[in-house]
Amino acid sequence: MNRLAMVSEMLTLQDGFNQVVNPQWRQAGLNWSRAVWVECGELMDHFGYKWWKASQPDMGQCVLEVVDIWHFVMSHEMTLAANEQVARDVAQLLEFAAASTETVCTDDERRACIDRLAMRSAAFAGGQGASLLVEFLELADAFGLDMEQLFLQYIGKNALNRFRQRHGYKQGTYKKQWNGREDNEVLAEVLQNCLAQGEADLMARVLTELESLYLKL
């Protein structure tokens, strides 16, 4: 599957999930840019910013936070343009980035990427604003996520989001702690195990495994 196809599928899945939560989500005036900068704060917490104490970045959780941010960035972009146009824009930006030799790798550069996306999204938190794609793709690259990795991680998290909705997340009855661990942590293990068996029917297999584990709580 090429980049354009992967982005197109993710947009379709996100559109479908948003419709589960609110069938009129595109017209509802939901503040996706605010959700982006709030998630950027959570990402910074996992990565670490406190120079006055010893800490190590939790890169596994950082990747999950980047994927969470992608959900909101895609939703934001789909309020600005048709899905097909958003997919083409992403593919074009990725082609441009592939021609660059610059690599973001230091901790300070990663923090700067988080800051740039947070500040740009916060600037538009009062309305639709403008595209966040450039800043998000820089962030994903900074945390080592190419489009294929982002796609696979997104499939896993989209599966968990759907699972949450099926089990009362919006109504407040969903159990987010699974035997002392947050469901995101459980998902990371489930996704790793499922990917070890191949990528075919990934979402269905992740959902089946989550269901099996949840029934044991």
The confidence score (pLDDT) of residue 199 equals 87
Cα dihedral angle (86, 87, 91, 94), rounded to 10 degrees? Answer: 60
The stretches of the chain forming alpha helices (DSSP H) are 3-21, 32-47, 59-78, 83-98, 107-123, 133-142, 147-166, 183-196, 202-215
Q: Domain 1-143 classified CATH 3.90.110.10?
A: no
Contacts 24+ apart (CB under 8 A), 16-22: 17/158, 17/161, 17/162, 17/165, 18/75, 20/162, 20/165, 21/165, 21/170
Non-local CB neighbours of 145 within 8 Å, separated by 6+ positions = 63, 66, 67, 153
Is 86 strand, coil or helix? Answer: helix
The phi, psi pair for 65, rounded to 5°, reads: -65, -40
**Every domain of the chain and the residues it spans:** 1-143, 147-217
Q: Which of 99, 89, 95, 162 is nearest to 130 (CA)?
A: 89
The confidence score (pLDDT) of residue 128 equals 59
- Predicted TM-score (pTM) of the model is 0.89
The confidence score (pLDDT) of residue 174 equals 96
The confidence score (pLDDT) of residue 54 equals 86
Q: Which mean pLDDT values do the consecutive 10-residue runs of the chain (217 residues) have?
A: 91 94 92 94 94 89 94 95 94 72 77 95 74 94 92 93 92 94 91 91 94 94
The confidence score (pLDDT) of residue 1 equals 80
The confidence score (pLDDT) of residue 14 equals 95
Q: Which of 9, 39, 17, 52 is nearest to 132 (CA)?
A: 39
The confidence score (pLDDT) of residue 103 equals 61
Cα separation of 70 and 90, whole Å?
12
The confidence score (pLDDT) of residue 125 equals 62
The confidence score (pLDDT) of residue 105 equals 78
The confidence score (pLDDT) of residue 95 equals 78
Please give the full DSSP string across 102-160, using - where no structure is assigned.
----SHHHHHHHHHHHHHHHHHTTTS--S--HHHHHHHHHHTT--HHHHHHHHHHHHHH
Cα separation of 215 and 217, whole Å?
6
The confidence score (pLDDT) of residue 94 equals 84
